[in-house]
Amino acid sequence: MPERLVSIKEAAELLGVSKSRLRAWDDNGKFSAVRTPGNCRRYRLSDIRRFQGLAEQEDGKTDAVAAYLRVSSHEQKQKGDLERQKGRVLQHCAEKGYRVAHILEEVGSGMSDTRAKLNRLFKLAIDRQISRIVVEHKDRLTRFNFGVFEVFFKSHGVEIEWAENVLPKSYEAELVEDMISIMSSFSARIYGKRSAENARKKKEAKQSESVEATHSEGAPASHIRRDAAGVDETKERNS
């Protein structure tokens, strides 16, 4: 039975890269295509699966690699920062001969622990579906407490590797944005709590004023009733 071939568009979608990058990989021999009689590129599905790391080694341990990519803002994504980051990481993986099984990319703060793709990464490690995580820099995985992440992944047999040791200047600005974001979040909580406290005090003061007004309005009527009763008693004694 002939092996199934897919178009360059399908191969790019399966691998999570652009068609131009696949052409470049074919030209430099890093991921070769099959040529049709019309000189069109086609890719063996089995080659794609091997490149993704879906095949397991003989000892039962997977050699699948997950590439994790992150930018902090949608503006950075629109500028192409995320796509360029993905290209650099996948180029690193190709040079190392890694089989990239999962490409996880997202927009979110490096200080957030609720990132969907990060939690997907945790699940892959727990399920023993990957043996390595590749990021552009460890900062892409988390801003703080990297050691905690490293211990967690190592406990599941997963190594973390980064392609770059020096961060570009753009990441300094991104760190400032993250710090401003977390400061704004704390400030909003503080001011929100303060506003709620002020609103409670105003409500209590208003209720207290209302009670006092009711008492002050009722006092004269009470005095009149007592005075009237005294006059009646005096009349009875004199009669």
For residues 41 and 8, what is the distance between their CA atoms, to the nearest angstrom? 6
CB 103 within 8 A of CB 69: yes
Cα dihedral 171, 175, 177, 179, rounded to 10, equals 180
Q: What is the DSSP letter of 36?
A: P
d(CA 145, CA 191): 28
Instruction: Read off the tokens for 177.
Output: 């944005």
Q: Which segments of the chain does DSSP mark as H helices, in order? A: 8-15, 19-28, 45-52, 74-78, 81-96, 116-126, 138-141, 146-155, 170-238
Of the listed 7, 18, 46, 72, which one is catalytic? 72
Phi, psi of 162 (to 5 degrees): -120, 145
Cα–Cα distances in angstroms (integers) from residue 173 to residues 5, 33, 66, 178, in the given order: 45, 40, 27, 9
195 assigned to active site: no
Give the Cα separation of 83 and 94 in Å (integer): 16
Q: Rounded to an integer, what distance in angstroms lies between the CA atom of residue 146 and that of residue 138?
A: 7
Catalytic residues: 72
